[in-house]
Structure 1
C-alpha cells in the first residue's frame, strides 16, 4: 500500500510540473552588478529562486511575467519588489522569482 501511495505522489508531482500553468516565463531576465558583472536567466521557471547580486543591482525584465525581487538570497522574506514585463529597476536584488 505504501508503494502505491509513493507512486501516486510521484505521478501527481510530474503532472503538476508539466501543467500549462507552471510553464517558464518566456524571455530573459538580466541582472547588472555595480562592478560590471552580468547574470542572464533565460526563461525563468515559476517559483524557482534565482540569486542576484545584492545592493544597487539593475534588473531588466524581458519576460512575459512579473518578477519579484527579494532582499534575501533564498526568496524567503515577505518583502518583495515587483518588476513588470519590459521594465528595468535598480534595487537591492539578492534574489528573484516569478509566480507565473
Structure 2
C-alpha cells in the first residue's frame, strides 16, 4: 500500500485560507479637493486606490484629506514617471495633471 501524501492537501487548504483572508482594495477614507487657477473646485470622496483622477493642470492646488498618501502627476493620465507624493492632510501647489491614491 502506498503512503498517503499530505502535501497536496495541505497546499490546497493553505491556498483556500489565503484567498479567504485576502481583502479587496478599498477606498481611501476621506476626500481629495482640487482647486483650479480660475476658481473651480472638484472634490473626490473616498478615492479608490490606483484609480486615476484628472486635475486642473498648471498653477492648481491639491489638498489630501484622506487617511493615505496620494501621488500627483503632471500629465492627465497618471503615466508620467515623476512621482510626487502628498501625505495625509498635505497640500501641494503646482502642475496637478492627475492623481491617484496609493492606499
Question: Please, what TM-score do these two structures have when normalized by structure 2?
Answer: 0.76
Q: CA RMSD in A?
A: 1.4
Q: In structure 2, list runs of 5 or more residues that go unmatched.
A: 1-18
Greater Rg by CA: 2
List 4+ stretches of structure 1 deviating above 6 A. Answer: none
Q: Distance in 2 between matches of 1:59 and 1:67?
A: 10
Per-residue deviation, residues 12-70 of structure 1 (Å, max 9, x unmatched): xxx8xxx5351100001000001000010000000100000000111110000100000
TM-score (ref. length: structure 1): 0.78
Aligned length: 83
- Distance in 1 between the 2:81 and 2:74 partners? 10
Per-residue deviation, 1:80: 1.9
8 Å CA contact 1:71, 1:80 repeated in 2: no
